[in-house]
Structure 1
Amino acid sequence: MRLQQSKTGFVFTGWHMATIMVAFFGVIISVNMLMAYFATSTWSGLVVPNTYVASQQFNGKAAAIRDMLATGIKGKLTVTGGDIRYSLSIADEGPVVADTVTAHFKRPVGEHQDFVVALQPAGNGDYVASHPVLPGHWIVEMIAMRDGEIIMHEANRIAVIEAKK
């Protein structure tokens, strides 16, 4: 007499389903927590300290910018390596002389690499400074003053590309 052996197949139980659900939701919760950490650690979200005060000052700032643009002063920023060059001029009139020129380099996200540098006059409406600028995207706010008044205030987004060696 021969005994028949029956093979038992895999039986999906409640424990298997519980394990799958815990793993699935564990991944989702872990990813959400990681994204929340990155969101809170890389950008403060603070654009202005007091939004109400900023809204009240908006029209005055807009009028000042319109007046500045009416003068026709144009600025040109060049960043190569560690050299920062800014030129001020008025079309058909030539270079513009300023008492002080400062450049505020800000990362679009985060503040840990931001810096301010004062540019020195190089003659003929040109202003220069030497400061290392890391590769990547920057928002550069340029402020030129003469006789205690702002004659040029502009912000440009630039990309600094590291040269291949």
Structure 2
Amino acid sequence: MVKQRPDGWWYPWIFVGMFMVVLSVNAAMLYFSTSTFNGLETRHAYEEGNSYNALIAAEEKQKTLGWSVQLGAESAQTTADAANGPRLVRLSLTIKDKNGAPIEGMEAQLQIRRPTLEGYDQSVTLDPVSPGFYARTVELAMPGQWEIRLMARHGQDSYRLRDRIDVR
């Protein structure tokens, strides 16, 4: 005589299956978190940590300048390209002193960085267009978020700005 299984014999397997799903999801998240972006923002963290007080002092001096700085980015393309192709972007900088007068003779250097991918960073110098207005058209490798780091110098004075742009 064949013995029949009791009702609900499979209930414990529900719990085993749920734990297997949780374990599989955790293993996938562990793999993706360790094999993609390493999270490294700077390669010289110790040196930057030691110069942190100097950075704070430079920011305080920057505030006393009273400069009005506006960084802009607009598409410079006239035709639609491939969905993930390079993009032409016109980056511009408008800078005025605390009295609202445009600042001429500024040296404006930009570092353009892709926050999530390495290998696409570039540095450009903005060209003077008119008093207090500097611009340049650059080619960015792909659409998405880009970080712009501005370093503007005028004589002994300097101004730093960090901003993000969304390139479509």
TM-score (norm 2): 0.71
Q: Which residue number in structure 1 is paired with residue 133 of structure 2? A: 126
Q: Output aligned runs, 1:1-165, within 5 Å.
A: 12-13=8-9, 17-18=12-13, 21=16, 23-81=17-75, 82-133=89-140, 134-147=142-155, 149=156, 151-160=158-167, 162=168
Paired with 1:10 and 1:97, the residues of 2 have a C-alpha distance of 89
Structure having the higher Rg: 1
Q: Aligned Cα RMSD in Å?
A: 2.9
Deviation, structure 1 residue 139: 2.5
2:69–2:94 contact (8 Å) kept in structure 1: yes
Gaps of 5+ in 1: 1-7
Paired with 1:150 and 1:36, the residues of 2 have a C-alpha distance of 47
2:65–2:98 contact (8 Å) kept in structure 1: no
Paired with 1:10 and 1:132, the residues of 2 have a C-alpha distance of 70
Paired with 2:27 and 2:124, the residues of 1 have a C-alpha distance of 38
TM-score (norm 1): 0.72
Paired with 2:127 and 2:57, the residues of 1 have a C-alpha distance of 29
Distance 1:30 1:118, change over 3 A: farther
Paired with 1:61 and 1:26, the residues of 2 have a C-alpha distance of 50
Task: Give the percent of matched residue pairs that are identical in Structure 1 and Structure 2.
Answer: 24
Deviations 1:92-115 (A, max 9, x none): 251113453122223443434433
Gaps of 5+ in 2: 76-88
Distance 1:79 1:53, change over 3 A: same
Residues paired across the two proteins, number: 151
